[in-house]
Amino acid sequence: MRILLVEDDADLGQSIAKALRGENFAVDLATNGVDAAHLGDTESYDAAVLDLGLPQMDGLSVLKAWRDADRPLPVLILTARDAWSDKVAGFKAGADDFLTKPFRVEELVMRLRAIVRRSAGHAATRIDCGPLSFDSQSGQFELDGFPLRLTALEWRVLSALILAKEMVIERLALLERVYEGDADTDSNSLEVIVGRLRKKIGASLIETVRGRGYRLTAGEAACG
């Protein structure tokens, strides 16, 4: 999963980004509203964490710009403002969730996972595909009931695939969900990650759709 974090406090932004990366998220950090609006328009993210008090362009204006442009990006507003009127304004502008500072990183992570899951059309926290299951609250994968040990890159690829189970994810779209904006990747990096995943979960679960991308499938049984 790739997250756009918008926070003008440099120390806080770096601290949050580090914590999210520790939970396997890829994170791009913007420190002002103009850069945030541009990134949300031009890059592919699973969700955004958006502060309201931003320089150059405030958070509500950024959010309204995204929604006016029909950007479906799930947005969690992160702010020091705790007035009910501010929350109402945020939700009216198109926010999906709201978290007031100070907060626990664990809560931020759980709320992010929840809005990403819901935006992908999953109501239940547990997502199954044949012998593979994903607990979207804890971020844990299991195969036949046993926990899977995954690298951060493997986790990002597999979480994207299971959230879109039985659907093809274009190769470029999958790459955009895995790497941060300034990452230097080679053309074979995604194939290497998929190859490692196939060794861990079984080759038949990840189907290569020639000329397009990949699909997580349980075959004739289908993903439940």
The mean per-residue pLDDT over the stretch 10-27 comes to: 95
Structural contact between residues 50 and 81, judged by C-beta atoms closer than 8 angstroms: no
Which amino acid is located at 73 in the chain? L
- 126-221: which CATH architecture? Orthogonal Bundle (1.10)
CA 24 to chain centre: 10
**What residues are paired with 100 via a beta bridge?**
79
Q: Which single residue is written with the structure tokens 């074979």?
A: 188
Average pLDDT over the chain reads 91
What SS3 class is residue 127? Answer: strand
The domain 2-119 is placed in CATH, from the list 3.40.50.1010, 3.40.50.2300, 3.40.50.970, 2.60.200.30, at: 3.40.50.2300
Domain boundaries, the chain: 2-119, 126-221
Confidence band, pLDDT 50/70/90 cuts, at residue 86 = confident
Q: Would you put residue 24 in left (φ > 0), alpha (ψ -120 to 50) or beta?
A: left
Q: Which of 72, 7, 15, 4 is nearest to 43 (CA)?
A: 4
Q: Which residue from 55, 8, 54 is spatially nearest to 29, judged by alpha carbons? A: 8
Is residue 24 predicted with pLDDT exceeding 90? yes
Q: How many CB atoms lie within 10 A of CB 8?
A: 17
Confidence of residue 127 (pLDDT cuts 50, 70, 90): very high
- The pLDDT value recorded for residue 176 is 87
Asked if residue 57 has pLDDT above 80, the reply is yes
